Structure 1
Amino acid sequence: MARSKLMGANLEAPMRTRIHFESPAHQHTLAMEITMPQCLPKLAIFLPSMHGGGVERTVVVLCRGLLEHGVAIDLVLSSAQGAFMEQVPAQVRVVELGSQHASTSLLQLARYLRQERPTYLFSAMNYVNLTAILANELAGRPTHLIIREDNSPAASFARNSNWKAQLVPPLMRVLYRRAGTILAVSHGVAESLAGFIGLDPARIKVIWNPVVDEDLIAKAGEPLPQALKHLESTPFILGVGSLIAQKNFGDLMRAFATVQEKRPQLRLLILGEGPERPALEALAQTLGIAQSVDMPGFVANPYAFMRRAQLFALSSHFEGLPTVLIEALACGCSVVSTDCPSGPYEILDKGRFGKLVPVADVGALSYAIAEVLDAPKDSARLESRGQDFSRQASVDKYLELLREIAALGAIA
């Protein structure tokens, strides 16, 4: 394992530390292989799991940066599973609550907070935030709660009619006020959240996600996996994200089919997995592009593809601060994105660093893709913009926030 700096000293990276909290009816088991110095402020980060996604990816990057500044971190997971588990720094103590979902981890999380009393508890995503708020209340509010909104809630819930869309919004309006600090990943998300729950915008702080670090840049230079080596010598358009309705990959396929009519050698690569796979595979057959589309599933290193792609396309109905768009810029890749709420408008600086097109407008998307493919690429300029979303810039903002909370002596 690599060495890591903590409190200015070089320490050999330890074995993974993991604590298992069973159901409240049972005594929890504790198996520690390293004890972090008790003088450090402790940040607990609560997530359902580390399955592949933008939130999980940015949490890994945030952990790396905060560890370098002496913050002790507990990663509290409903289930310690997922593709990003292997990327969690070894100095992070993993606490597994023994549940499959955030909502069913409520009592275990409350028990953890009562017993461990971390200085701060951080959570992200609205349904996870609600569990964190309720757990902190049940535990007697022993910690300062920092919740982060990652998507535009108005846009997100407008497209859903399931039970979450019925239950979560009213709970957000009541419970979010109980959080000590409310964060948003973009100004667009902050504005949407304030209006959605009727909250004073001044209560919401904006901190861009930590996205770009030296690990990303190094991985961008790695070779492609053997199964996709043919893309080394073939022009391709890239899309990355979970195969869910929000990402709207169907429109990307339709736009690609139009663009490919004049560029028969062009291919489409979509990296990600999800419930929309059967529908997307059927659509590719219907459009007659199935032989030109690669959908290998989740890939741990998408950056090597971003470095080589002719263009990265984001076709989403809504976002918060789409990590993949920033990563593509950092890899020097030209981009086209829907001007969805929220994030692309900020990331691309009103279109200065990539084309913005209306949501669900296949014609505009295909036209913009063709236009960008024909234009010269200024990779250095795109990479420079990506660095505005560096790990250090974001970590500095988080450290400033933690110091502000400590200075106020605030809890809960």
Structure 2
Amino acid sequence: MAEKATILFVINSLVGGGAERVLTTILGASAPWRDRYDVHLALLDDEPRAYAVPEWITVAQLDAGHRLGASIAQLRRLVGRLNPDAALAFLTRANVATAVAMAGRGRPWLISERVNTSAHLGSGAGAIVARAMVRFAYPRARHVIAVSDGVVDDLVQNFGVARDRVSAIANPVDHDAIAAQAAAPCPLAIDGDYVVAAGRLVPNKNFALLVDAFAASGLPHRLVIMGEGPERASLEAQIAAKGLTERVLLPGFVANPFAVLARARLFAMPSNAEGFPNGLVEAMACGLPVVATNCASGPSEILADLPRESVVDARQVPAGALVPPNDVAAFASALREVASEPRRTASANAARQRSLDYGVAQATERYWRRIDAALQPPRTSGSPASPYPLSSGIAR
């Protein structure tokens, strides 16, 4: 029997978050590959784990303390001991650390970019350094897996990644797990109908816009924003100033958000930037109609099956509505329209059906096909095509 190839996955930690959930979902569905590969997972930071991985995967717990230098040093030592045949990293720090740790070893490494890189890195002195590191590391990867076509375009246009070295694989949505958790008792005591949103309380999520739009919509519902972050105090002050303290709830991190989503009237996503909006598709899987901004990147691909730049104004979509970013009036109008019947029920049904295109099995297979392809000798001019043909578009 041929010796199994060793594959090393790398991520900052398994604290609660979208990238962490995606990685553990993929690993949890990877049993069909365990006979071919010896799978390892490196966690750069010693943090409490919100997600579990299968027992057959070997986990190496490092302790880099959120520092890039320590991440590189510790990961390079691990790579030296393990000598993986290929590595695949998630999140920017892990991506850069993996690039350095694998350098000079003659082994392929891949990265999975979870965010719209330009929007995520922002501006300022720190961002200049971060952008330089991304421009250095990402083009050298054997392949970059982005979460949406918008992220692909950003990496090609702004970070020097060759078009034929990057492709999009949409994040997987575990419908069975979501259905099981959605059926559990609701962990929040909420009277009456409510609109729900979820995400870190940070500027890019733009929950301030949602509070303004909710106030302008005239809806009699409550608004629930699940998540925690540095914008809490500012949002609380905004809510109080609008006299909405009794109608807008900020419950913080909710261990089972699906039980809350499943009982809502609609889902709102007011973001200025996304990589691939997990929460949007998960809400759709719970049967929620949605109102989302046409931000970079992902919402237009999910809701309208169109590139972002081709959607200029507010637009009705089967699952709800897509509106321009930072447009309070358009968001408020969309909330009113999608919340009304019979449109709400029709959009809810369309949302659930659309979410089925983002299944776990499809995404997991596409990830492993990319790893398989990376293990093949690099093509040269005139060489035959790869035995692992892959679409460059988003996984459906």
What TM-score do the two structures reach when normalised by structure 1? 0.83
Matched position secondary structure for 2:30 = helix
Is the Cα–Cα contact under 8 Å of residues 357 and 364 in structure 1 kept in the other structure?
Answer: yes
- Partner of residue 195, structure 2: 237
1:318 aligns with 2:273: yes
Residues 99, 109 of structure 2: 8 Å contact kept: yes
Aligned to 2:323: 357
Report what 2:184 is aligned to: 222
The 8 Å contact of residues 172 and 359 in structure 2, kept in 1 or not, is answered as: yes
Moved more, 267-276 or 209-218: 209-218
Using the TM superposition, give the Cα deviation of residue 258 of structure 1 relative to its aligned residue in structure 2, in angstroms.
1.7
Match of 1:50 in 2: 14
Q: Match for 2:338 among 347, 351, 372?
A: 372
**1:98 pairs with one of 63, 77, 84:** 63
Q: What is the alpha-carbon distance in structure 2 between the residues aligned to residue 72 and residue 311 of structure 1?
A: 43
State whether residues 108 and 375 of structure 2, in contact with CA within 8 Å, keep that contact through their aligned partners in structure 1.
Answer: no
**What is the 5 A alignment of 1:300-319?**
300-319=255-274
* Number of residue pairs matched by the alignment: 362
| Alpha-carbon shift at residue 254 of structure 1 (Å) | 1.0
Query: Which residue, 352, 359, 364 being the options, matches 1:390?
Result: 359
The question of whether the paired residues in 2 share the 8 Å contact of 1:75 and 1:92 is answered with yes
1:134 and 2:100 aligned: yes
1-side partners of 2:183 and 2:133: how far apart? Answer: 45
Structure 1 stretch displaced more, 201-210 or 62-71: 62-71
Residue pair 1:47, 1:102 contacting (<8 A) in 2 also: no
> Offset of 1:357 from its aligned partner?
0.5
**8 Å contact from structure 2 (residues 86, 375) kept in 1:** no
Q: How do 1:109-128 residues align onto structure 2 when only pairs under 5 Å count?
A: 109-128=75-94
Q: Cα gap change, 1:100/1:42 in structure 2, threshold over 3 Å: closer, same or farther?
A: same
* Secondary structure of residue in 2 paired with 1:44: strand
**Is the CA contact (8 Å cut-off) linking 1:46 and 1:122 kept in structure 2?**
yes
Aligned counterpart in structure 2 of residue 294 of structure 1, from 229, 236, 249: 249
Q: Indicate the residue corresponding to 1:74 in structure 2.
A: 40
Q: Deviations over 1:159-189 (max 9, x none)?
A: x334431101122222222212111111111
Q: Is the 8 A contact 1:117 1:142 kept in 2?
A: no
1:81 Cα deviation from its structure 2 partner: 1.9
Instruction: After TM superposition, give the deviation of residue 262 of structure 1 in Å.
Output: 4.5
Letter in 2 for 1:75: L
Matches within 5 A, 1:245-264: 245-259=203-217, 261-263=218-220
Q: Tell me, in whole angstroms, the C-alpha distance in 2 between the residues paired with 1:91 and 1:354.
A: 42
State the Cα distance separating 1:409 from its structure 2 match: 7.2
C-alpha change, 1:41 and 1:214, in structure 2 (3 Å) is: farther
Contact 1:102/1:131, CA 8 A, preserved across alignment: no
Q: Deviations over 1:62-83 (max 9, x none)?
A: 1111134324432211224245
Shift of 1:358: 0.5
For 1:409 and 1:190, locate their aligned partners in 2 and report how far apart those are by CA, in whole Å: 21
Q: Are the equivalent residues in 2 in contact too, given 1:127–1:168 (CA < 8 A)? A: no
SS in 2 for 1:366: helix
Cα deviation, residue 325, structure 1: 0.5
Partner Cα distance (2:368, 2:298) in 1: 23
Structure 1 vs Structure 2 CA RMSD: 2.1
Decide which moves more: 320-329 or 115-124. 115-124
Kept after mapping to 1: 8 A contact 2:142/2:165: no
Cα distance in 1 for residues equivalent to 2:59 and 2:12: 12
Q: Which amino acid is 2:192 matched to?
A: T
Structure 1 equivalent of residue 390 of structure 2? none
Deviation at 1:242, TM superposition (A): 0.8
Which segments of 5 or more consecutive residues in structure 2 lack a partner in the other structure? 306-316, 380-396
Q: Counterpart in 1 of 2:391?
A: none
The percent identity for this pair of structures is 32
Aligned residue for 1:12? none
Tell me, what secondary structure is at the counterpart of 1:147? strand
Give the Cα separation in 1 of the matches to 2:182 and 2:83.
Answer: 39
Q: Distance in 1 between matches of 2:350 and 2:329?
A: 28
Judging changes above 3 Å, is the alpha-carbon distance between structure 1 residues 336 and 346 closer, same or farther for their aligned structure 2 residues?
same
Q: In structure 1, what residue type is equivalent to 2:114?
A: D
Cα distance, 1:332 vs. partner? 0.7
**Gap regions ≥5 residues in structure 1:** 1-36
- The answer as to whether partners of 2:195 and 2:268 remain within 8 angstroms in 1 is yes
Q: Check the 8 A contact 1:212/1:387 in 2, yes or no.
A: no
The amino acid across from 1:101 in the alignment is: H
- Check conservation: 1:312, 1:328, Cα contact below 8 A: yes
> SS where residue 167 of structure 2 aligns?
strand
Which of 239, 246, 250 does residue 284 from structure 1 map onto? 239
Change (3 A) 1:101 1:208: same
After superposition, what is the alpha-carbon deviation per residue over 1:228-265, rounded to whole angstroms, capped at 9, x for unaligned?
A: 1x33x521111111111110111111111122x341xx
